[in-house]
């Protein structure tokens, strides 16, 4: 009898241990305390933007992730921020886009119910480009390979004191079969565009963050920034092909 009772007690302790360990694992994956729930991905003296690490949901089969971000406004630029809005967003890794799917505004310090009826004068879906801090952060948390390599910008064209155009040397996509290259361009310090250069036709077509479709193919004008983009794309295209020989 004593042996049976000891075995029964041991079995109970073993089951309890499994339950405790399961709870701990769940806490690691799904829950964070308030101190580390929000991860800041952009901040200046006017605004602070943070990612909610508790609400990230990754659909591996569709390669889509949803999450919430919080926007906070600075009070008199004194380091104190007040929450103003929550955005519900979705990243489609296959199509390299991010879409705003809902929002909630703070009223008297508390967020109201989520709504899909929000102002979006520039649309709700945007193209993603190399160097996007939020996309890299979300990818890392959900255990996915980053969408792009860390960008390496090379200035290829300047116009005036402030206008400069840079190509990302670490994210050039070469299409050997069709003799084309896809390149990413940073205009100034914050505006992004991507371009497809067709080396058989001698043309270039582009799109920015808001375009859903590629622009019409153009022959680059001499001494223009498009010519600089095309020429650098061709140099990198040739360099990649030579490394593969």
The structure's pTM equals 0.79
Tokens of 151: 């960008």
Q: Is the torsion defined by CA of 141, 149, 230, 181 positive or negative?
A: negative
CB 86 within 8 A of CB 104: yes
Question: Could you report the per-residue pLDDT of 46-91, keeping only the tens digit for each?
Answer: 999 999 999 999 999 999 999 999 999 998 877 789 999 999 999 9
Which pLDDT score, from 0 to 100, does residue 19 have?
43
Which one-letter DSSP state was computed for residue 224?
Answer: S
Domain ranges of the chain: 34-141, 153-244
CA distances from 148 to 41, 101, 108, 169 (A): 17, 23, 40, 12
CATH architecture of the domain formed by 34-141: Beta Barrel (2.40)
Per-residue pLDDT of the chain (245 residues; tens, 9 = 90+): 455 445 444 444 454 444 444 444 333 333 344 558 999 999 998 999 999 999 999 999 999 999 999 999 998 877 789 999 999 999 999 999 999 999 999 998 999 999 888 776 556 899 999 999 999 999 999 999 999 999 999 999 998 777 899 999 999 999 999 999 999 999 998 999 999 999 999 999 999 999 999 999 999 999 999 999 999 999 999 999 988 87
Which pLDDT score, from 0 to 100, does residue 123 have?
66
> Cβ contacts of residue 183 below 8 Å, gap of 6+?
167, 168, 172, 173, 194, 195, 197, 229, 232, 233, 236
Give the H/E segment covering residue 200. Answer: none
Tokens of 23: 């709870």
β-sheet bridge partners, residue 164 = 158
- Three-state secondary-structure class, residue 162: coil
CB 149 within 8 A of CB 170: yes
Which pLDDT score, from 0 to 100, does residue 78 have?
77
């Amino acid at each position: 009898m004593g042996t049976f009772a000891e075995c029964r007690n041991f079995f109970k302790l073993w089951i309890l241990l499994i339950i405790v360990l399961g709870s701990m694992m769940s806490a690691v994956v799904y829950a964070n305390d308030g101190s580390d729930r929000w991860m800041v991905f952009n901040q200046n003296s006017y605004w602070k933007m943070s990612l909610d690490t508790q609400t990230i949901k990754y659909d591996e089969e569709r390669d889509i992730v949803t999450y919430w971000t919080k926007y906070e406004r600075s009070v008199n630029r004194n380091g104190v921020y007040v929450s103003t809005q929550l955005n519900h967003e979705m990243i489609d890794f296959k199509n390299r886009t991010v879409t705003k799917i809902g929002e909630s505004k703070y009223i008297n310090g508390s967020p109201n119910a989520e709504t899909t009826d929000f102002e979006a004068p520039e649309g709700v879906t945007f193209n993603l480009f190399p160097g996007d801090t939020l996309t890299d952060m979300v990818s890392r948390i959900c255990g996915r390979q980053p969408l792009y390599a860390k960008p390496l910008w090379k200035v290829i064209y300047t116009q005036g004191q402030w206008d400069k155009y840079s190509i990302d040397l670490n994210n050039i996509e070469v299409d050997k079969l069709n003799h084309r290259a896809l390149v990413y361009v940073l205009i100034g310090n914050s505006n992004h565009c991507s371009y497809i250069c067709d080396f058989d036709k001698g043309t270039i077509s582009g799109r920015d963050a808001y375009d859903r479709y590629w622009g019409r193919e153009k022959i680059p004008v001499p001494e223009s920034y498009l010519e600089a983009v095309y020429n650098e794309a061709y140099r990198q295209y040739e360099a990649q092909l030579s490394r593969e020989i």
